[in-house]
Structure 1
Amino acid sequence: MSELLERDGVRGHLHRPAGAGVAGLVLTHGAGSDCDTKLLRAVTDGFVERGIVVLRFDLPFRQRRASGPPHPSKAAEDRDGVAAAVAVMRELVSVPVWAGGHSYGGRQASMLASERPGLVDALLLLSYPLHPPAKPEKLRTEHLPGLRTPSVVVHGSKDPFATTDEMRSALELIPAPTTLVELEGARHDLAPDKFPVVERAVTAMLDLL
């Protein structure tokens, strides 16, 4: 069961499982897309089938305009958008609340969790953009040593934003339990129709419970 949700600056789709939810997940998109991507829809369905309440939502930059990438100067507003979605979910459920997203969305969720310890109970990072393609020296790891939230990172072995070894090294910076789920042959989009991204992401997150 799903419904459109627009409140407190949050715009998205709320999906409820058949029974009582065992956790709540707020899930958002990457820099070039919105919350209606094939990946987010597939991941949402997989979690709902396993008893998770999911809010699939658009970040503030996407609410402002239908296309185009986010501007770096507005990234804090996108983190505020994740926090607003978490607040809505906290009002809806009395179970653990997770935050996650694909690429840019996951990065902003992880930065928010580093800035505000305890805001969420776990993170799901799909294709974390560790560095720009072909620029491995520009690592996006500054906030990781301050991240004390258990995290699941789903990574494709052919993702140009990080090699698996680079991702492993980055996760060692996080002083909290981390799980790296590698999908052999997958690229940045994780192609849920070709790879078991949904099954493996759901299993890894439920293991945190």
Structure 2
Amino acid sequence: MLIDGDPIVGKVIFAHGAGAPMDSEFMQDMAVRLAKLGLQVVRFEFPYMQTIRETGKRRPPDRMPKLLEYFTQFIDEQAMDEQPLYLAGKSMGGRAASMLLSHPAVSAGFVFGYPFHPRGKPDSLRVDHLKDLSKPLYIFQGERDPMGSLPEVTEYNLPPSVHVHWFEDGDHDIKPRKASGYTQIQHMDHIAQIIGKQLN
């Protein structure tokens, strides 16, 4: 996806979350914002999501090793040209992206709602691999995300390569409550501004 007239500054492979496909409202809206920044946006669906689409029956995601193997195929395919390559993902897709930042073709990663732990299981952390990252990872997180809230994440002692940007009253979809005075659109526009600065 690329908005006509915008110069191409790079390519981003954008992975979906565990429960919503590549054309969910969040994925669509964010893909448009990324394209307006001059990024060629490549979206795909993991095999389990393809099965859900074909059968109409819900099923859990595959194990992470299988997801990573499939994701890596897209990185290898899209790394054939010389333009900068970025990884991005919503929730589970973002976690997978963060685990593949060491790929030599990848410049940086962007995660929308990182699942620092499963819902209701704050002690089951998914941060060990983050400590080994040498490339920049930008995480955009709602302050009240049930999979990693502001009070929780500030205790994790994340490395300098991980940049967490907080969005007031946002949930896992970075959506605030009306009483906050903010909107999800405002937050997503702000995310795009931050990403744009990293591309320049």
* TM-score with structure 2 setting the length: 0.84
1:53-202 alignment, distance < 5 Å: 53-66=40-53, 67-72=58-63, 75-91=64-80, 93-113=81-101, 116-170=102-156, 172-176=157-161, 178-191=162-175, 194-195=183-184, 196-202=186-192
Match of 1:40 in 2: 27
Matched, 1:50 2:37: yes
Structure 1 position 22, deviation (Å):
0.3
3-state SS of 1:149 partner: coil
Which range moved further: 183-192 or 24-33?
A: 183-192
Structure with greater strand share of residues: 1
Distance 1:150 1:62, change over 3 A: same
Decide whether the 8 Å contact of 2:108 with 2:137 is kept in 1: yes
> Quick one: distance in 2 between partners of 1:140 and 1:104?
11
Match of 1:25 in 2: 12
Distance 1:187 1:147, change over 3 A: same
Letter of the structure 1 residue corresponding to residue 172 of structure 2: H
Structure 1 position 65, deviation (Å):
3.4
3-state SS of 1:88 partner: helix
Decide whether the 8 Å contact of 1:168 with 1:180 is kept in 2: no
Map Cα deviations across residues 108-157 of structure 1 (whole Å, 9 max, x no partner): 111122xx353411111111011112221111112111111201111111
Map Cα deviations across residues 77-135 of structure 1 (whole Å, 9 max, x no partner): 211222222223223x532111011111111111122xx35341111111101111222
Identity over aligned pairs, percent: 26
Structure 1 position 189, deviation (Å):
2.0
Map Cα deviations across residues 37-87 of structure 1 (whole Å, 9 max, x no partner): 111100110111121110121123212433322133xx2121122222222
> Quick one: distance in 2 between partners of 1:183 and 1:200?
9
3-state SS of 2:32 partner: helix
> Quick one: distance in 1 between partners of 2:194 and 2:163?
7
Distance 1:123 1:43, change over 3 A: same
Structure 1 position 201, deviation (Å):
2.1
Decide whether the 8 Å contact of 1:147 with 1:175 is kept in 2: no
Structure 1: runs of 5+ lacking an equivalent: 1-14
Decide whether the 8 Å contact of 1:146 with 1:175 is kept in 2: no
Structure 2: runs of 5+ lacking an equivalent: 177-181
Superposition CA RMSD, Å: 2.1
> Quick one: distance in 1 between partners of 2:183 and 2:97?
26
Structure 1 position 32, deviation (Å):
0.8
Structure 1 position 175, deviation (Å):
4.8
Decide whether the 8 Å contact of 2:169 with 2:175 is kept in 1: no
Letter of the structure 2 residue corresponding to residue 96 of structure 1: P
Map Cα deviations across residues 147-184 of structure 1 (whole Å, 9 max, x no partner): 112011111112111111322344x43352x3322111
Decide whether the 8 Å contact of 2:142 with 2:175 is kept in 1: no
